[in-house]
Structure 1
């Protein structure tokens, strides 16, 4: 037993838990923890962005790339409230964050001190943060800190990872008690559960019987670090792979077996294969509305006509949207290794298979390529969206990490990006929070300092978090922002045009006096912050400017003027009830019943 201040207990725990970064902003409520963090700065580095939302996104990006959790630190009241959106993004995309928030001192509970929430319960920030974390812990004595922190760390990385919260009344940082340190957990991906032998054997039977099988993979495969096993299974049984955005790169997307994304902005071959498959083996994927064409039969999938095997670490996802024929609660890598071992035992799947299925897929690929190729080859000003994707593919190295925000640019990259490796495409998918992309790329670069890290973000999203420029300069984080400048909330403007007769209101950016289109001069904005700024209006210039920005190994921003009147060609559907969805631009829904 050792007598320690609460702040020292927390700092020591972060060291033992091997949490390398605290992304935090100071305040009167957490000043008592800053001094203990100074004592451990060689092992736990404090990085202070200019907004708490960005702190959460940085921790999120850091985990997605490194698979090591980082912490956030915020003060009482508004600072902690600013975390909510970032934690919601992390929770819905299964990203682990150790969130430390300060609260009012215990001696002032329920007296309405500065920044207390007490309408329904004293020091009630727990009920604010509860919906966006796996669990919120609020120790009220120093003696409670060690157990609460170990339980928080265990919760954070056990099963489906996600953010947790340690809400600390700020007197605990300075008060002392005799405590015994709890053992560190540090347990992500070290304890895995597998499937039953019977289920593994039955899945192997079905895969070998199927004539038109597909694998559908999601973030669970990425989190489980199962890329090698996934690729081995696909190649062994000649099964094409459809990926959710957070699963992209688990199989090299230039591999002939990779079909890309599915849904409204999926590739044509993916939707064709999904709706014509006779068996779908889904691993670590959720079947959300955007990857299932709003669950409309025949647009992306055809359950229950198609057999479904659903494997997931989270029991709540099994059967949430489609009742599976076999539901398996298991870690992706553990299950894939079991399945490969079963195929080894049978000496099955050693020859090329399914020639008719692959011939059909090759035909769909050719149809799609013939349709989209002209846009990739056209030079114009403003620049066609396809050119941005094509030039990023040509310039960036295979192991480059890109982050994407919410917006029309994300739809283009979902449809046409070719991730070569896992953990190289960071998406705000489940909650789709704007500001994630420009912020998370900072955390990604800290996790992988030797990798090229590029944020492709909308003009609207970047304008929400322009202070990321300051953080890059302060901490010398060499990232590149490509601002997709179409002078509008482009994705929403397109919905307005599509569903309301071409009318537009509140979705385009106009100058208040002359009503011409308006945005800040993003390049000048970057230069004012000490970041290299570039403006590109001709497609012939973008690749060279991107190459220069990457080669500089310094923070850089490229303001790219993109044609706002060219839209991703829908191959599936997305419904906004009660508005009837638009039909696909290319391809048509298909039913096995005709």
Structure 2
């Protein structure tokens, strides 16, 4: 076997696995691997953003677009600690990347050297990230690396995807051993479990009894690339489809039976169909509080009166929040194909059977459109939120990748955005991290260099992570950031108005005690970084600014002043116990 340094072994393994990028930041703890990355720089590019959190969000978004993991590299101590939020974000949304963190040399373990965590166990940094990764590995010798690398690769993508951590002492990068590269992982041959024949037969039996079925699809469907099969099922039976934000785009958004998101800020037809359905087949979702109106019966769902078929590749999610009539641990794509094959032999289960239900659902769609559409044409300054969403829907091309940050703007997009493709609406859903949308768009652009990549982010979230502009300029990434500028932490301000009688504190951006609204000049900030910058305060300027930014193919910030006093119309509910929950603004609970 050849003598190889640990750093060389890691670099060559990543090349062998066709990993194109390492997103990372140098430090004394990882300088020992940089030389190995230099040797393979024509096959494995090191992209260095200005903050480790950004590296993690970039890797997360890259996987969501490409469904191929990349790696991150951070140094001992604070650099790796900055990864915690992006790892938690990826874990919560089942997104995979390999986080390589450096640690102190093994000869100095438990001596308290520079940046060692040692109070409870030597070189204990792996304990910091264990709650936010699928698995943490800590190889302390070069001959331990091949097994750890292979296991880490497989762990990332087998079953429910997620990030992994390799915590590597500094000396392991530079020491040598007689080692070979690990065998190929499952990256190119993912394990896709299916349902049993008995389970498929049981689902068919429930469908034969049902009169009002709905499909509810989420990120598991997106990750399995089950869109074609789910679209075929929707078209074959004309079943209404409700989507989580990370499931949007899997089925045609312009179909009248694609109802959108459900929950407090969901669309009215989705909530109405969910609470009146007699059978829900959910594929790759987990019924979190926002997609279930905090589990209050009659607001989004009516379990256990409604029958529930729950399909997920992670058996721990089956029945977590609602008891299932049938729980199936299976890949979304495989299950849906199995169901379609079984339906081919059951001619009595067809679109005609569900036609009365479909007509009822389409009535709710028309009712909702009549209620919301007038505001999409409102011409106001500052701009009305519906106008912004509608203008972007008309202006952005069908192949756009949209990256959304946490904030009130996200509520508007969940309710009204219609992505035209899978993996084209990136959301920090489970962990709702500020900065994911701002930073993630860089990773999305690297995953899809020929597609327009646009981040819609709040003024608060952008101010947390503005260094992304430096990276975009350095690496010539033509991302566009549209800042939803309402001069506030708008989502929390709305909670103060809705739940605390408008007793606003700590949520609006003011200059001193003057009461004058304040934010930086974001457009000037962009220009100072070498990017383009535009401020939009008039509705007639928005479409043209976006079109020009896409045409220029340069990093660009568009600062859009949005009316903070207009709030998304709630159609379900959401509760922060013990505070009482609010009734829907539009629609009402329905308990069968």
Q: How much does 1:351 deviate?
A: 4.9
Does the residue aligned with 1:547 lie in a helix, a strand or coil?
helix
Q: How much does 1:57 deviate?
A: 0.2
Does the residue aligned with 1:58 lie in a helix, a strand or coil?
helix
1:331 aligns with 2:331: yes
Q: Would the aligned equivalents of 2:63 and 2:95 in 1 still touch at CA under 8 Å?
A: yes
CA distance in 2, matches of 1:457, 1:173: 38
TM-score normalised by L of structure 2: 0.99
Q: Would the aligned equivalents of 1:54 and 1:440 in 2 still touch at CA under 8 Å?
A: yes
- Correspondence list, 1:93-108, <5 A: 93-108=93-108
CA distance in 2, matches of 1:269, 1:103: 52
CA distance in 1, matches of 2:346, 2:570: 42
Q: How much does 1:362 deviate?
A: 1.6
Partner of 2:59: 59
1:234 aligns with 2:234: yes
Partner of 1:397: 397
Does the residue aligned with 1:300 lie in a helix, a strand or coil?
coil
Partner of 1:477: 477
Q: Would the aligned equivalents of 1:18 and 1:186 in 2 still touch at CA under 8 Å?
A: no
1:501 aligns with 2:501: yes
Does the residue aligned with 1:151 lie in a helix, a strand or coil?
helix
Comparing 180-189 with 232-241, which one deviates more in the overlay?
180-189
1:555 aligns with 2:520: no
CA distance in 1, matches of 2:90, 2:321: 21
Q: How much does 1:352 deviate?
A: 4.0
- Correspondence list, 1:258-269, <5 A: 258-269=258-269
Q: How much does 1:253 deviate?
A: 1.1
CA distance in 1, matches of 2:538, 2:186: 49
Partner of 1:537: 537
Q: Would the aligned equivalents of 2:275 and 2:301 in 1 still touch at CA under 8 Å?
A: yes
Q: How much does 1:368 deviate?
A: 1.1
Does the residue aligned with 1:49 lie in a helix, a strand or coil?
coil
- Correspondence list, 1:38-437, <5 A: 38-187=38-187, 190-347=190-347, 349=349, 351-437=351-437
Q: How much does 1:515 deviate?
A: 3.0
Structure 2 unaligned segments of length 5 or more: list them: none
Does the residue aligned with 2:290 lie in a helix, a strand or coil?
helix
CA distance in 2, matches of 1:420, 1:182: 40
Q: C-alpha offsets along residues 298-348 of structure 1, whole Å, 9 cap, x if unaligned?
A: 000000000000000001100100010000010001101111111123345
CA RMSD of the aligned region, Å?
1.0
CA distance in 2, matches of 1:388, 1:188: 40
CA distance in 1, matches of 2:353, 2:381: 47
CA distance in 1, matches of 2:513, 2:564: 22
CA distance in 2, matches of 1:10, 1:142: 10
CA distance in 2, matches of 1:551, 1:415: 28
Partner of 2:12: 12
Give the number of equivalent residue pairs: 592
Q: C-alpha offsets along residues 397-439 of structure 1, whole Å, 9 cap, x if unaligned?
A: 1111101000000000000000111000000000000000010
Q: How much does 1:189 deviate?
A: 5.9
Q: How much does 1:453 deviate?
A: 0.6
CA distance in 2, matches of 1:210, 1:87: 41
Q: How much does 1:187 deviate?
A: 2.5
Q: Would the aligned equivalents of 1:157 and 1:188 in 2 still touch at CA under 8 Å?
A: no
Q: C-alpha offsets along residues 199-254 of structure 1, whole Å, 9 cap, x if unaligned?
A: 11111222233110000000000000010000001111111100000000000111
CA distance in 1, matches of 2:350, 2:507: 55
Q: How much does 1:184 deviate?
A: 2.0
Does the residue aligned with 2:229 lie in a helix, a strand or coil?
helix
